[in-house]
Amino acid sequence: MRIIKNLQNFLYDQDYYIDIYNNCLHVYYYEDLQNLSSTLIELKLKEFILKIEGKDLIVSEMDKHEILIKGKIDAVRFLR
């Protein structure tokens, strides 16, 4: 998955990605995990803060710059 993402990143030359799937959200190249709970997750990206609201939110996979969040996502906000 990472190889494909890296390749996509190289080809598109973007600073970050946010992919939303069914009950699943994938963020590539976040800078910091600011808040984590089962109803709210806040991620700091380069130009804004990504606020994810929902129920039973869990982190399924995580590394330095990439995170996969699962759960019932109600809202995704961008705070500049």
Partner 1 sequence: MKHYVLVRIKTPKKTSLLLKLNRLNVDIKEIVYEKDSLTFKIDKQDLKKVKKYLVSYQVEILDETGVYKLKKELKKNNLIITGIFFAVIIFMILSNIIVKINIIHEDSTLRELILESLKEEGVTTLSFKKSYDEYERIIEHIKDEYPNQIEWLEIDVEGMVLNVRVEERIIKEYEQSDSSCHIVASKSGIIESITTQKGVAEVSIHDYVKKGDILINGNIKLNEEIKESVCASGSVYAEVWYHVNAGLPLTEIKETDTGKMRYNLMIKKGSEETVLLKSRVGEEKRVENVLLFRIFGFEFYLQKEYEIETSTITYTEEEALEKGISLINEKLELKLDNFEEIIEEKVLQKELKNNNIYIDMFVAVKEQIGIKEYF
Q: CB of residue 77 vs partner 1: minimum separation in angstroms?
A: 20
Q: For residues 13 and 71, which CB has a smaller minimum distance to partner 1 in the complex?
A: 71
Q: CB of residue 60 vs partner 1: minimum separation in angstroms?
A: 6
Q: Report how far residue 5's alpha carbon sits from residue 2's, in angstroms, rounded to the nearest whole number.
A: 5
* Torsions phi, psi for 30 (to 5 deg): -95, 160
Q: For residues 8 and 34, which CB has a smaller minimum distance to partner 1 in the complex?
A: 34
Q: Which amino acid is at 8?
A: Q
Q: CB of residue 63 vs partner 1: minimum separation in angstroms?
A: 4
Q: Report how far residue 24's alpha carbon sits from residue 49's, in angstroms, rounded to the nearest whole number.
A: 18
Residues that bind partner 1 (CB under 8 A): 32-33, 36-38, 58-64
Q: How far is CA 41 from the centre of its chain?
A: 9
